[in-house]
Structure 1
Amino acid sequence: MDRRRALLLGGAAAGAAVAGLGVWRAFADTPDDDGFELIPAVPLGDERVEQRDSATRGRQVDFYTAVPEGHGDGRGLPVCLVLHGASATAADFPRFGFGRFLTDAVRRGVPPFVLAGATGGRLRWEPSGADDPGRMAAEELPAWCGQRGFDVGRIALWGWSMGGYGVLRLAERFPGAHRAVAAFSPAVARGDAVFAGAAGLAGTPVSLWCGRQDGFYDAVRELEGRIPGAKAAYAEGGHTRRYWNTITPAAFDFLGRTLSPA
Structure 2
Amino acid sequence: MNRRTLLTTTAAAAASVVAAGGYARYRSGAEPVIPDVPAGDERLEQRESRERGRTVDFYTAVPQGHGDGRGLPVCLVLHGASTTAADFPALGLGRFATDSVRRGNPPFVFAGATGGRLSWRPSGGDDPQRMVHEELPAWCAERRFDTRRLTACGWSMGGFGSLLLAQTFPGFVRAVAAFSPAVSPGDEVFTHAAALRGVPVGLWCGTDDGLLTDVKALERALPQPKAAGGYAAGRHNFAFWSTCLPAACDLVARVNG
Q: TM-score category by the smaller chain? A: 0.7 to 0.9
Q: Which amino acid is 1:122 matched to? A: R
User: Residue 249 of structure 1 is aligned with which of 237, 246, 251?
Assistant: 246
- 1:135-188 CA distance string (max 9 Å, x none): 000110000000000000000000000000000000000011111000000001
SS in 1 for 2:253: helix
Q: How does 1:130-149 map to 2 (within 5 A)?
A: 130-149=125-144
| 1:240 CA drift (Å) | 1.3
Number of matched pairs: 230
User: Residue 199 of structure 1 is aligned with which of 190, 194, 202?
Assistant: 194
Write the distance in 1 (CA, Å) between the matches of 2:54 and 2:249: 31
Write the distance in 1 (CA, Å) between the matches of 2:29 and 2:140: 31
Pair 1:35-2:31 in alignment: yes
Q: How does 1:152-191 map to 2 (within 5 A)?
A: 152-191=147-186
Pair 1:217-2:212 in alignment: yes
Runs of 4+ in 1 over 4 A off after TM superposition: none
SS in 1 for 2:158: helix
| 1:49 CA drift (Å) | 0.4
Q: Which amino acid is 1:126 matched to? A: R
SS in 2 for 1:53: strand
Write the distance in 2 (CA, Å) between the matches of 1:193 and 1:61: 26
Higher relative contact order (CA 8 A, sep 6+): 1
Q: Which amino acid is 1:225 matched to? A: R
Residue pair 1:207, 1:230 contacting (<8 A) in 2 also? no
Percent identical among aligned pairs is 63
Write the distance in 2 (CA, Å) between the matches of 1:65 and 1:33: 25
Q: Which amino acid is 1:32 matched to? A: S
User: Residue 233 of structure 1 is aligned with which of 230, 237, 240?
Assistant: 230
Residue pair 1:183, 1:209 contacting (<8 A) in 2 also? yes
Write the distance in 2 (CA, Å) between the matches of 1:234 and 1:31: 25
Write the distance in 2 (CA, Å) between the matches of 1:204 and 1:92: 28
SS in 2 for 1:209: strand
Per the alignment, residue 6 of structure 1 pairs with: none
Per the normalisation by structure 1, the TM-score is 0.86
Write the distance in 1 (CA, Å) between the matches of 2:155 and 2:190: 17
User: Residue 64 of structure 1 is aligned with which of 56, 59, 63?
Assistant: 59
| 1:241 CA drift (Å) | 1.1
Write the distance in 2 (CA, Å) between the matches of 1:32 and 1:173: 34
Write the distance in 2 (CA, Å) between the matches of 1:121 and 1:57: 9
Per the alignment, residue 19 of structure 2 pairs with: none
User: Residue 47 of structure 1 is aligned with which of 22, 33, 42?
Assistant: 42
Per the alignment, residue 120 of structure 1 pairs with: 115
Write the distance in 2 (CA, Å) between the matches of 1:191 and 1:166: 15
Write the distance in 1 (CA, Å) between the matches of 2:195 and 2:27: 36
SS in 1 for 2:115: coil
Structure 2: runs of 5 or more not aligned = 1-25
Per the alignment, residue 4 of structure 2 pairs with: none
